[in-house]
Amino acid sequence: ELEAITARVREMEKEYERLKELQLEAESHLIMSSEPGLFLKTTEEKMEVDQRSIYVGNVDYGGTAEELESHFNTCGQINRVTILCDKFSGHPKGYAYIEFEEKSSVKAAVELDESVFRGRVIKVLPKRTNMPGISTTDRGGYRGRFQTRGGLGQRGGYYGGQHLRLRGRAYRGRARLLPWYFPY
């Protein structure tokens, strides 16, 4: 019985090694045969692609990539149509990006701003390039627990003899305001 188990373990180890070799072979084959535009390596390449792309807003939720491509085919050769979807539900978010072959196609596509696509007036803009380290949602300031408007709040909750009323996320009962207070 013990010999049968050890034989089975040896068999499993050999299979593991074989699978490992197949995985390495598949990964190397994928990297070698990948399209040049599939893995963008530098920010210059990303910026160049963004200069050939447009943002399309207010897209109908039932709209497909093929319909968007046919709507914008008069502007020039289209490389890619990307309709963004919610990662949890899978439903479209209502906007898309279209990448063209030529930069001149972007100007022609922007001319289709406020045109009607599937009964909705769409918004067409040149795609902006995201700069690393710059966020449009960054509101600055201290994002910790004791932030108050005007920066006047102190830990005890009193300022100048009067009780400071905190709003939003900062005030959720006594235990949050006083970190040294533990009821149990």
Average pLDDT, the chain: 78
| Domain CATH code at residue 92 | 3.30.70.330
Pick from 95, 99, 111: nearest CA to 51 = 99
Q: How confident is the model at residue 141 (pLDDT cuts 50, 70, 90)?
A: low
135 falls within a domain:
no
Sign of CA dihedral 81, 86, 92, 95: negative
Check whether 91 has a pLDDT greater than 80.
yes
Total domain count, the chain: 1
**Residue 79 falls inside a structural domain:** yes
Q: Is residue 37 part of a domain?
A: no
159 Cβ neighbours under 8 A, 6+ residues apart: 152, 153
Q: Which two tokens stand for residue 62?
A: 């039932």
Backbone angles phi, psi at 26, to 5 degrees: -65, -40
CA distance 145 to 138: 17
Examine the pLDDT at 57 and tell me if it is beyond 70: yes
* Residue 109 contacts residue 133 (beta carbons within 8 Å): no
Quote the domain boundaries for residue 101: 43-126
pLDDT of residue 117: 94
